[in-house]
Amino acid sequence: MTGPTTTPSTDAIDLGPEDSCLTVILRGTRSATRSETVAVAVHRRFGVFTHVYVAVASPVRGEAAVHLVRVLEGERVGEAVDWALATLAARGALIPARRPGALAPG
């Protein structure tokens, strides 16, 4: 059996005009029926916080969801990316997109 053919979107992350988001891991699978995308976002609306999200798609079940998996106070993108690559990649077959440089505005 081959892996999922769809890549889950991080479009559901609520980004304000001052926020920014970066895809850390383009795709990954922990099973043949599930696909994941990991993103790091810096939110600046109510203070500055860095969030790590996992967007999950399951084409077999027809569902998609975005999960907040880590919150860091302040703009700590490098730490969030390192955590995502070390922790989430170790848990499954996540494939790093690249070591990111700068966040894209939301």
Burial classification of residue 91, based on how many CB atoms lie within 10 Å of its CB (0-12 exposed, 13-18 middle, 19 or more buried): exposed
Task: Output the average pLDDT for the chain.
Answer: 75
Express each pLDDT in 1-26 by its tens digit.
333 344 566 677 888 999 999 887 65
- Mean pLDDT, residues 81-99 taken together: 68
- Mean pLDDT, residues 67-75 taken together: 95
> Looking at residue 51, what is its pLDDT?
95
> Looking at residue 5, what is its pLDDT?
41
Express each pLDDT in 34-47 by its tens digit.
677 888 999 999 99
Query: Are 13 and 20 spatial neighbours (Cβ–Cβ below 8 Å)?
Result: no
